[in-house]
Every structure is written in structure tokens, then in C-alpha cells.
Amino acid sequence: MPLANLLNDLLGDLRDPSLMWQAGAIVLSVLLGWTLSRFLWRGVKARTASTDVARFGVESFGRVVGPLAVVVLLWASQKLLGRFHLHTNLFNLALPIFSSLAVIRFGFYLLRRVFARGGVVGEGMQNFEKAFQLLVWLAFVLYITGFYQEIFDFLDDTLIPLGKHKVSIATVLQAAVSVVVLLLLAMWAGAALEERLMNLHTMHSNLRVVIARMGRAVLILVAVLVSLSLVGIDLTVLSVFGGALGVGLGLGLQKIASNYVSGFIILLDRSLTIGNVITVDKYSGQVTQINTRYTVLQGTDGVESIVPNEMLVSGAVQNSSLTNPAVVIVTRVTVGYESDVDFVLKLMEDAALTVPRVLRDKGPSGMLQAFGADGLELALAFWIQDPENGRGGVTSDVNRAIWKSLKEHGISVPFPQREIRLLGPLPEQSA
């Protein structure tokens, strides 16, 4: 509705008692909508985990529910007043305002749910949100002032050549908007599906990842096909595009395709799962992510390595926790020849059992390995259940416990000693 007509209608309503009914209904709808959204937000927050990502999603959801609830209540109030033959011109101003706010908040929610990682909004995302917000408010201004229809007619009459046909700018813009909206909805649905599957602990982790990846791919494919149909593109032309894509994959994208297929092979045959501690080539660490193209390993020093999936399929991989996460660690110590070997080995085994991470059911085992030049070379093998937490820390704890026990019992730990002999008389020092 043009702004001039809307203002005239509002000025005419100043003398009408229905204006008070309209204002009261709008205020009541706003208060009731925000109160309802507050209760819903608290209910969702109470059922959500206290992680950064979960809090980020709940806050975004809470910002969306408020304007949507207000819009629904305003629409219902307008219909209710209309049934009593009361004027609703004030609603014609309130509804576009809150609808624009709802569109902005919902757009922010979709964008952050799809693109924000770890609950962190980057600078690029913030700039895009500002541009999106500006476009929505610009559309509201054009609608409320009545210029929207004139601009749309101008864009619809402006044609651009596209091969043998001519397409209006309005059609191109509508097609672009429909494609973007459908893709965002598909990606949002895929993210929601993945989040729900990741919380389904009754299913194997690899199977959850496979279903989530395939579900997201199917949703995006359906969104692309539907958006192309809405634009008016004949889907039979995709057969030609598919052939060209196949040739491209065969010639220049072999590695990418191989890594993509290898990722699904890893997930389906369950040779690797998230949390496994593996070693491949010169890379070692815990598997934290299995993506379609690569797998992320996090070492005990915190450094993350990105390993192509093809490397994990075609090469040898040492998995420390494939069927049994328990691993053995060996530490060595040398004692003097005068020491009682059996007594020292018993001290070492008892000392290792004082460390919490050392397994009791697979008790430590001491061994006499060799008769060294400096003393008896002893070794202690012990098992741990959590190699993903590193081996250096538990080895240090065991060594410290052994050293403390040896000192308490007077066991000497020999070390190489060197004697320096001077042959011949010392040179005289000059006065």
C-alpha cells in the first residue's frame, strides 16, 4: 500500500474508535508474542547441552521465534477485527515492519546455522548479514512507499539477451533468490539432520556420518533441481552437463574424486572411527574429523594434520585402537650390579601401579634385558587404556614413581664415569 494512502487511512482512523482497538490489539500481540517466545526459548535452552555451539544455536533460535510469533498474532488479530467490521489500517503498517524483522532474524538464523563454525561468526559473515539486513529494510521501504510495483514493472520490462531468447531482469533476480533460498533451506535441513544423527549414540559413529553426508548431498541436489525447475530450465540439459562433468572428473579431478570416494569407503568399512589413534606415513594422532576429502589428525602436541582420504585407503595405517584401545608402553632403567634384580623389578612394578592411568588387569611386567657396561639394564612394560591422551605424560609419571622408590630403598643408578690422566710432566707456568 502506498505511503500516502496509508497515511490518509490512518488520519481518517483518528476520529474512529476502532483506532484504539487496533493499537491495543497490536500492543497485546507484541507483548504476548515476546512472552511466548521467551517461554519457548527457556524450554529449548533447558533441553540443550551447555556447549558453545548449542548455546549459539539456542540464542539464534530465540531471536527468530519472537518476531515470528508477533507476526502470527498480528495476522490473527487483524482477521479477528475484520470479522467485526472494524478498520485495520494500523495493521497494514505494523505487519510489514514485524514481517521484515522476522525475515531478517530468520535469515540470520539460517546463515549462522549453515556457515558459522563452532558458534563463531566471522567478519565476512557479519558483513553479509549487514548487507542482507539492508536489502530487507530497503524492500520494506519500497513496499510501504508504493515504489515497489513501479520498480518491479521496470525490471520486468527490461530484457537481456540469453542465447536465442530474452529474459527480463526481474525473472533473473527471482531465479537467483529462489535458488539461494532453497539452497540455504537444504543446507539448514542437512545441518539439522547431522546434528540429530550425531546425538544418536545407539548408531555406530561411522554410519551416522555416512547418513548425514548422504542426506545433506541429497537435500542439496533436490534443492538445485527444484530451483532449476522453478526458473524454467529444462532438466534434460543436465544430461549434457553430467557428461561434461564426467569427462572433467576423468581428466583433471581424479585426485579429488578418489579422495571423495575413499572418504565413504573409510566410513562404510569402519576401518577408522572418530577417536582412533592412528599413524600413517609420518603423521600420528587422534582422528577428530572424517570429511569427504580429508581426515583430521590431532597430535598430542595439539598440532592438527590434514591427511587426504586416499592416503588412508591405499597405504598402510597403524591403528592403536581399532579393536582394543589398550596399548603397551616400555620404559627402561639401569641399576648397579650389586642390586637384587628380583627386588628391583618388584619395586618398579609396584611403583607403576601407583599411576592412575596404568591398567591393573594387565599388570606391569618387569624384565632383565641385558648386562650393560654400566649396570643391569631393566625394562618395565605397562598398559594404558587411553592412548588418545598421550604417552609422554604417563611415561613421565611412571619414571618419577620408579625413581622415588629406588631412592627410598637405596638402589643406585649408575652413570658413565670418565678418568682423565695426564702423561708426562706438567708444563711450567711462566712467571
**pLDDT band at 330; cut points 50, 70, 90:** very high
* Mean pLDDT (whole number) for 124-135: 72
Helix, strand, or coil (residue 180): helix
- pLDDT value at 181 more than 90: no
Q: How far is CA 33 from the centre of its chain?
A: 32
Residue 367 has a pLDDT of: 92
E strand or H helix at 237:
helix 237-251
Q: How many C-beta atoms lie closer than 10 Å to residue 112's C-beta?
A: 20
- pLDDT value at 120 more than 60: no
Number of residues that this document lists for the chain = 431
Task: Indicate the DSSP class of residue 358.
Answer: B
Best-predicted range by mean pLDDT (79-83, 115-119, 122-126, 394-398): 394-398
Q: Which three cell numbers stand for residue 397?
A: 609419571
* Contact criterion met (CB below 8 Å) for 348 and 364: yes
Nearest to 398 by CA among 363, 362, 353: 353
Residue 90 has a pLDDT of: 72
- pLDDT value at 81 more than 90: no
Structural domains of the chain in order of their starting residue, each with its CATH number: 3-157 (no CATH), 327-408 (3.30.70.100)
Sign of CA pseudo-dihedral 163, 168, 171, 176? positive
Greater pLDDT, 319 or 91 = 319
Residues contacting residue 197 through CB under 8 Å, at least 6 positions apart:
203, 208, 211, 212, 215
Q: Which residues of 48-76 are buried (b: 16+ CB within 10 A; e: fewer)?
A: eeeeeebebbbebbbbbbbbbbbbebbee
Q: What is the pTM of this model?
A: 0.51
Residue 366 has a pLDDT of: 92
Residues contacting residue 264 through CB under 8 Å, at least 6 positions apart:
210, 213, 292
* Distance of alpha carbon 270 from alpha carbon 209, whole angstroms: 11
* Contact criterion met (CB below 8 Å) for 74 and 94: yes
**pLDDT band at 53; cut points 50, 70, 90:** very low
Q: Which three cell numbers stand for residue 232?
A: 524454467
- pLDDT value at 231 more than 70: no
- pLDDT value at 293 more than 80: yes
**pLDDT band at 254; cut points 50, 70, 90:** confident
* Distance of alpha carbon 292 from alpha carbon 284, whole angstroms: 20
